[in-house]
Amino acid sequence: MTTIALPTYEDAVARYEPVIGLETHVELGTQTKMFCGCRTEFGAEPNTQVCPVCLGLPGALPVANRAGIEATIRIGLALNCGIAEWCRMARKNYFYPDMPKNFQTSQYDEPLCTEGYVDVEVGGKKYRIGIERVHLEEDTGKSLHVGGATGRIQGATESLVDYNRAGIPLVEIVTKPVPGLGELAPEVARAYVTELRDIIRSLGVSDVRMEQGSLRCDVNTSLNKSGAEWGTRTETKNVNSLRSVERAVRSEIIRQAAVLDGGGRIIQETRHFHEDRGETSPGRSKEEATDYRYFPEPDLVPIAPDPAWVAELKAALPEKPSVKRARLREDWGISELDMQSVANAGAVELIEETIAAGASPAGARKWWMGELARRANETGVELSAVGPTPAQVAELQKLVDEGKLNDKLARAVLEGVVAGEGDPAAVMAARGLEVVNDEGALTAAVDEAIAANPDIAAKIRDGKVAAAGALVGAVMKTTRGQADAKTVRELILARLS
């Protein structure tokens, strides 16, 4: 393999136009699996939630789970799709160890929901992402490769399979290709997955946690010269966080531009995104639909949702996240652009809960969009996984409002909370971080600073008030930053006037 010099992202999007598409899998949070009565609890002992149906034993017959169909229809409705009045499940035939039936029960040419859209906003502009289809299928089991250094199949001594996940209902949401985004393609891709996650979470049909795999995303990317036909697309798998969605599109744009610049050809293939390196590597070459020899599933009756039932489900949809955001934006008194940043950072619910726990909107937003967003970025985790709970952030802000912590001390307390040392008040006490408000101690520190800096003190006595800063600094130093700078300044001026 030859190494090609990579262009910068700016160069790549100046020369080529990206077209993206997203395929998202959502694991539904039903109590039981899609075609049998097995439980679906996450993290159970391997192979304890299985039965003849989901193990694909001879003679076992599936029965569809009504809750799975209902959840899929509700997702379709929330994504503005039309709902099929009659459709069938299909067999997607392929062999893989984590799929004991040797076929996946899925949908092919008769998806349950079609022709919808999702609106997202990036940089103050609205983008409509077309939804081609929303269909229902079942999840596969999980392979575990052990004995090697990396947990990958290469170098492993044994492979184990856990079928607990096999047969859990899975909804696949496929967008239409999205051209015309230019350099914003990575950000729009992320905004779309964020919006999709929020919509599905609002329906209560899945916990949509990317880190646990209940929301999984494949990103299609192609490049073309301006005005030319669309290029060959690659499909990037293993994109496990919102941040990675953006990074995966960006890195694939850069890689493809380098190949095209060198006169090369893009191969239609699946690629794997590597979180650590921020790059993709080639996987298998992409199968065609014909390779799967789809045919209608003969063991299941067709799905024919009663239009009256669908109308009922539609009428009972919850408040849309976009409508909710508009309402919260009013309540919080922030600009549309600021609300967009909050939404794209995945911070809406976190801030909402922090306010519910007693913080002011400005206080709640300051922590989540400032210090905590910075930490999330640095450590490469979702904001909700940084550590502090909304209640803890509210408590921290309360300590600041009460004058017990200044900004610098509050950040130190937050560090303790992130490190798992307990709630803010406990961390403050254990680390001895409270602001010194004891007037006696402060006066002593002020007097000490004046005595140690007679020249500066003389200047202030002569009316050069600006010189007080140096004495404030000296007091802050002796109190290890635990004094309130404003109070110290007032004390110094009172002493020297």
Rounded to a whole number of angstroms, the minimum distance from the CB of residue 43 to Zn ion is 17
Rounded to a whole number of angstroms, the minimum distance from the CB of residue 137 to Zn ion is 16
**Rg of the chain taking only CA atoms, in angstroms:** 29
Rounded to a whole number of angstroms, the minimum distance from the CB of residue 141 to Zn ion is 11
- Report the residue number, 53 or 457, with the smaller CB distance to Zn ion: 53
- Report the residue number, 63 or 419, with the smaller CB distance to Zn ion: 63
* Residues forming beta bridges with residue 295, ordered by sequence position: 91
Sequence letter at residue 321: P
Binding site for Zn ion (CB under 5 A): 36, 38, 51, 53-54
Which residue reads 């916990």 in tokens?
207
Rounded to a whole number of angstroms, the minimum distance from the CB of residue 168 to Zn ion is 10
- Report the residue number, 53 or 248, with the smaller CB distance to Zn ion: 53
- Report the residue number, 51 or 470, with the smaller CB distance to Zn ion: 51
Rounded to a whole number of angstroms, the minimum distance from the CB of residue 206 to Zn ion is 19
| HEC profile of the chain | CCCCCCCCHHHHHHHCEEEEEEEEEEECCCCECCCCCCECCCCCCCCCCCCCCCCCCCCCCCCCCHHHHHHHHHHHHHCCCEECCCECCEEEECCCCCCCCCEEEECCCCCCEEEEEEEEEECCEEEEEEEEEEEEEECCCEEEEECCCCCCCCCCCEEEEECCCCCCEEEEEEECCECCCHHHHHHHHHHHHHHHHHHHHHHCCCCCCHHHCCEEEEEEEEEECCCCCCCCCEEEEEECCHHHHHHHHHHHHHHHHHHHHCCCCCCCEEEEEECCCCEEEEEEECCCHHHHCCEECCCCCCECCCHHHHHHHHHCCCCCHHHHHHHHHHHHCCCHHHHHHHHHCCCHHHHHHHHHCCCCHHHHHHHHHCHHHHHHHHHCCCHHHCCCCHHHHHHHHHHHHCCCCCHHHHHHHHHHHHCCCCCHHHHHHHHCCCCECCHHHHHHHHHHHHHHCHHHHHHHHCCCHHHHHHHHHHHHHHCCCCECHHHHHHHHHHHHC
In the sheet that 103-106 helps form, which strands lie side by side, from edge to edge? 103-106, 90-93, 295-296
Rounded to a whole number of angstroms, the minimum distance from the CB of residue 60 to Zn ion is 9
Rounded to a whole number of angstroms, the minimum distance from the CB of residue 350 to Zn ion is 36
Judge whether 196 and 119 are in contact, CB under 8 Å. Answer: no
Rounded to a whole number of angstroms, the minimum distance from the CB of residue 144 to Zn ion is 20
Rounded to a whole number of angstroms, the minimum distance from the CB of residue 232 to Zn ion is 40
Residue whose C-alpha is closest to residue 116's, from 136, 92, 141, 133: 133
- Report the residue number, 48 or 281, with the smaller CB distance to Zn ion: 48
- Report the residue number, 51 or 254, with the smaller CB distance to Zn ion: 51
Rounded to a whole number of angstroms, the minimum distance from the CB of residue 69 to Zn ion is 17
- Report the residue number, 36 or 393, with the smaller CB distance to Zn ion: 36
- Report the residue number, 24 or 106, with the smaller CB distance to Zn ion: 106
- Report the residue number, 21 or 62, with the smaller CB distance to Zn ion: 62
- Report the residue number, 56 or 361, with the smaller CB distance to Zn ion: 56
Rounded to a whole number of angstroms, the minimum distance from the CB of residue 305 to Zn ion is 24
- Report the residue number, 36 or 129, with the smaller CB distance to Zn ion: 36
As given in the structure block, the two tokens for residue 380 are 């490469």
